[in-house]
C-alpha cells in the first residue's frame, strides 16, 4: 500500500538528510496522530509541495504530533512540458470537481477563467474565498494522489489576459464541440506550457474562440460526446498524459 503523504512548510524539510529527526505538528500532525491514528513503526512521506519528498519512520506519537526519523530524501524534477488547465467558472461544485480530478491526473497549474457565459462571478472577497477553496482542493487532491508538487492556482483571468497567456505558451488547445480536429494524436512540445481551455456550461462564444485562436490556440474535440465542464478538462489531461507522461 502506498505510504500516506503529508504536506509541510518547505522550511521544515529544506535541509534534512537521512538520520535527521523531524516533528510533524500543526494541522497535518493532528490529522496524522488523531484521525489517521498512525503509530510508532509505521512509515510516512512528507512533501514540501515543490518537489521534495522525504520518507520517514515514526519514532514517537503525541496527541497532535509525530516524531519522525528521516530514512530517504528525493527530489521530483519539474515536469516538462507543463500542463496548464484553464477552467471557466461553473455553478455548483463543477469547477471544484474539475480542479480536483485534474490534480489527480497530473495538472501543473489551474487557471480560473471569467468567460463571457459564466453564470458565476468571482468578485471581491467572494472571489478570493472561491480561489482559496480551489487551493484547498488542489492540496487535498495532491495528498490523495501522493504528489510531491502541488499545482499552482493562478489568479483569475479574463479572455484578454488569457489570450496573452496563450501567446506565451508552447501549445494551447481550446476544447470545442464543433471543432473538426481531435486532441488525440497531437505531438506535444518538449518544453514550455501546454494550455488546455475549458469553457463554461453555456459554451465558449464565437468571439472568444476567434480571440484565442488569433493568439495561437487550436480548437479541438475529445470525441463525439459532449462532456460537462467538470469532466472535459480531466479527460483532455488524460489524453495528453497518454501520449507523453504515461508512456
Tens digit of pLDDT for each residue in 102-157? Answer: 999 999 999 999 999 999 899 999 899 999 999 999 999 999 999 999 999 999 99
Are β-strands 109-113 and 152-153 bridged in parallel, bridged antiparallel, or unpaired? parallel
* 28 and 111 housed in the same domain: no
* 42 and 112 housed in the same domain: no
**What gap in Å lies between CA 183 and CA 174, rounded to an integer?**
9
* 65 and 99 housed in the same domain: no
Residue 235 in any domain: the answer is yes
Q: What is the pLDDT of residues 151-209, one digit of tens each?
A: 999 999 999 999 999 999 999 999 998 888 999 988 899 999 999 999 998 889 999 99
Please say if the pLDDT value at position 1 is more than 80: no
Residue 247 in any domain: the answer is no
Kindly state the helix (H) or strand (E) to which residue 21 belongs, with its residue range.
Answer: strand 21-24
pTM to 2 decimal places: 0.93
Question: Taking a C-beta distance cutoff of 8 angstroms, is the pair 238, 191 a contact?
Answer: no
**What gap in Å lies between CA 72 and CA 57, rounded to an integer?**
10
Domain that holds residue 154: 82-242
* 63 and 116 housed in the same domain: no
Residue with cell 518547505: 10
Amino acid at each position: 500500500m502506498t505510504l500516506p503523504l503529508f504536506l509541510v512548510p518547505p522550511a521544515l524539510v529544506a535541509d534534512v538528510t537521512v538520520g535527521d529527526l523531524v516533528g510533524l505538528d500543526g494541522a497535518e500532525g493532528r490529522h496524522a496522530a488523531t484521525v489517521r491514528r498512525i503509530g510508532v513503526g509505521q512509515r510516512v512521506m512528507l512533501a514540501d509541495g515543490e518537489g521534495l519528498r522525504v520518507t520517514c519512520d515514526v519514532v514517537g506519537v503525541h496527541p497532535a504530533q509525530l516524531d519522525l526519523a528521516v530514512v530517504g530524501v528525493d527530489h521530483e524534477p519539474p515536469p516538462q512540458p507543463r500542463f496548464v488547465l484553464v477552467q471557466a467558472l461553473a455553478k455548483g461544485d463543477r469547477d471544484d470537481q474539475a480542479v480536483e480530478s485534474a490534480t489527480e491526473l497530473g495538472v501543473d497549474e489551474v487557471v480560473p477563467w471569467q468567460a463571457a457565459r459564466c453564470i458565476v462571478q468571482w468578485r471581491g472577497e467572494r472571489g478570493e474565498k472561491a480561489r482559496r477553496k480551489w487551493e484547498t482542493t488542489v492540496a487535498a487532491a495532491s495528498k490523495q494522489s501522493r504528489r510531491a508538487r502541488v499545482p499552482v492556482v493562478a489568479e483569475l483571468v479574463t479572455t484578454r489576459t488569457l489570450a496573452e497567456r496563450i501567446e506565451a505558451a508552447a501549445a494551447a488547445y481550446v476544447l470545442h464541440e464543433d471543432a473538426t480536429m481531435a486532441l488525440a494524436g497531437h505531438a506535444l512540445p518538449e518544453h514550455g506550457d501546454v494550455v488546455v481551455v475549458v469553457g463554461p456550461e453555456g459554451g465558449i462564444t464565437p468571439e472568444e474562440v476567434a480571440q484565442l485562436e488569433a493568439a495561437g490556440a487550436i480548437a479541438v474535440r475529445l470525441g463525439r460526446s459532449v462532456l460537462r465542464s467538470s469532466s472535459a478538462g480531466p479527460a483532455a489531461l488524460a489524453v495528453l498524459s497518454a501520449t507523453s507522461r504515461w508512456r
